[in-house]
Amino acid sequence: MKVAVIGAGSWGTALALVLAEAGHEVMLWARTGAVAEAINADHRNPRYLSDYRLPDAIRATSDYAEACEGTEAVVIVTPSAALRSVARDLAALIAPDTPIVICSKGVEEQTGLLPIDTFAAELGNGDRLAVLSGPTHAEEVICRKPSAAVVASVSEATALFFRDLFATRFFRTYTSDDPVGVELCAAFKNVIAIAVGISYGMGFGDNTAALLITRGLAEMSRMVVAAGGEALTCMGLGGAGDMVVTCMSQHSRNRRFGEQYVARGLTLDDFTAQTHMVVEGAIACKTLRTLEERYGVELPLTDTVRSVVWEAVSPREAAAALIDRPLKSEFY
């Protein structure tokens, strides 16, 4: 099967490898022609995961039309902030019934729409849309270390299609009928990972990290249920699984941003300039505010991360405000 992977960052590159290992022909879309040419010439991505040779079944292009020509499935792996423009660019190039799976994580700030809703608004036919998420750092997937993800769609047929499309011996895929829950979990876990990183950078320990992860799960669950998702999703691969790995892994850019940048007084611009990577949690702590206000859900950790990253509140001042919050029932 021919599959178009839109986005040649670290995650897009790793997923292209998974698909090639599953026996598919992969066309990987890169933003620049130089990256595409390097992948085709050297079978390596010159900017991300460059130590790893990519299978011959992967070819690259910087042209949307070439990437989508003859494709039987489309995998979206672009930064969340670019999703609407990507959807508009692809609308005329993808057949109305071509299955699309979205692997980007976040919330559109102006509308509060999740990625799958943004694509449905621009391309229609929501039944052919799915989302993929889980505890799957690209740095380990590219090494073929055993990993698992969840594929969620309102259509069982679409979920099963992508479950089978990605499945290999080292990449297990499970299905869900709760794309709302899976996508909200994906946005939240990056925010909490920044908080955990800041806490370690401030010299706090594992007890504090466990506190933040657990209360982050409670915060995540409140929003998922309020938005119409299922509470149980928060206990699965897309929820607790992804939360733990993103908060604790050495590969987590969100934790690294909190620990090595925010806690040391550096900025998001510093991180972007030095790593050429997007910190999705820094965007999500802003965009989740739209849903926080819409549903009237209390998100103290998200609010705290936003105040530190975007409103110049010092990490120690923010931590003190959290510690001084009134005591409540664990679940409310």
- In single-letter form, the type of residue at position 113 comes to L
Interstrand relation of 129-133 and 147-152 (parallel, antiparallel or unpaired):
antiparallel
- To which H or E segment does residue 124 belong? none
Please pick, among 105, 189, 286, 328, the residue that the annotation labels catalytic.
189
Residue 145 annotated in active site: no
CA distance 173 to 163: 5
Q: Is 226 exposed, middle or buried (0-12, 13-18, 19+ CB in 10 A)?
A: middle
What values do phi and psi take at 20, rounded to 5? -65, -40
Name the token pair of 305.
Answer: 């991360």
Contact residues for 73 (Cβ-Cβ < 8 A; gap 6+): 1, 2, 3, 4, 98, 99, 100, 101, 161, 162, 165
Closest CA to 160 of 185, 186, 116, 128: 128
**Residue tagged 């130590």 (tokens):** 51
* Residue (of 282, 127, 152, 123) closest to 224 by Cα position: 152
CA distances from 137 to 14, 23, 123, 129 (A): 9, 22, 29, 23
Give the number of other Cβ atoms within 10 Å of residue 233's Cβ: 27
Active site members? 189
